[in-house]
Structure 1
Amino acid sequence: MNHVSLIGRLVRPVELQEVGHGSVVCNNTLAVRNAKKNENGQALADFIPLVFWDKTALLLRDYCAKGNQIGVTGRMVSRSYVNKNEQTVYIVELLVEDLYFMEAKKISNQATNTNPEPIEIPF
């Protein structure tokens, strides 16, 4: 059985890449809190590579941003390629099949003024 469910935070901004025949893909990383803590008592995290395709990638782009907490389910896949040094590189990543929104999309402070100037209201 190859079924994985995770909840964590997106590590990078969401960027789509167009690939052949109108498909889109998004590669990102999910920071998942680990039960263990370091010597300073801070929680550790595991960083899981994610791959979103087509509709799931578009949903991620439209409703999520870097730092958002999301839930994902999918299956682990592996692939390999030969790099420019002629070394075989192996990659294991989560192919996301379902995306769950755990919070609203964060908007940067530059786009919206989160601390507007007080308005004088005459009474």
Structure 2
Amino acid sequence: MLNRVILIGRLTKDPELRYTPAGVAVTQFTLAVDRPFTSQGGEREADFIPVVTWRQLAETCANYLRKGRLTAVEGRIQVRNYENNEGKRVYVTEVIADNVRFLESNRDGGGSGGSSREESSNNSNNSGGGNNRSNYNSNNGNNNSRDNQDPFSDDGKPIDISDDDLPF
């Protein structure tokens, strides 16, 4: 069985960051994803898909995502239900994201200069729990020491590898 979804769209409003009673961060936002066709009137239509992120990924999304930003989301579809105040059963379909990629730099001038930032976490249960890991594709402004830089970053220079170092 497989439950995997990848979406690219724009945020309809700023993400909403909240905390559970146990202190776990959760962020909700809606992604507007264009449909691949136009309506009979020639207008472009979009789907508005609710997205939920948890823990460190939630806090990062709340800090860096803003309305209108182009964003890629990878995760799984989850359907949950509850009984509302009127006693009716309400079904909610949403994407639980475990990987969010910011595809545009900040428009406010304090952005990442065009580089993308990626956050991901491995969720192990339906409530979004699990181990978190973050991977920022920038050197965090620390250019003084080679020890703190990513040795695999693309600096535009060719890599010199002899045939003796290759395992095949």
Q: What is the TM-score normalised by the length of structure 1?
A: 0.82
- Per the alignment, residue 117 of structure 2 pairs with none
Residues 64 and 106 of structure 1 are in contact (CA less than 8 Å); yes or no, is this contact kept in structure 2?
A: no
Matched, 1:27 2:31: no
| Percent identical residues | 35
**1:69 equivalent in alignment to 2:70:** yes
Unaligned runs of 5+ in 1: 109-123
For these two proteins, the number of residue pairs brought into alignment is 108
Aligned equivalents of 2:41, 2:103: Cα separation in 1: 28
TM-score between the two structures when normalised by the length of structure 2:
0.61
| Structure-1 separation of matches of 2:84 and 2:107 | 36
* Structural RMSD (CA): 1.5
Equivalent positions of 1:5-84 (< 5 A) are 5-84=6-85
The CA distance in 2 between the partners of 1:90 and 1:46, in whole Å, is 18
Q: Which has the higher strand share?
A: 1
| Contact 1:10-1:68 at 8 Å conserved across structures | yes
Q: Computing the radius of gyration over CA atoms, which structure comes out larger, 1 or 2?
A: 2
Structure number with higher relative contact order (C-alpha < 8 Å, ≥ 6 residues apart) = 1
Q: Which runs of 5+ in 2 are unaligned?
A: 110-168
1:56-103 Cα distance to aligned partner (Å, 9 max, x none): 111112221011010010001111010111100011100000011100
Please identify runs of 4+ aligned residues in structure 1 that moved more than 2 A.
105-108
**Aligned partner of residue 20 in structure 1, secondary structure:** coil
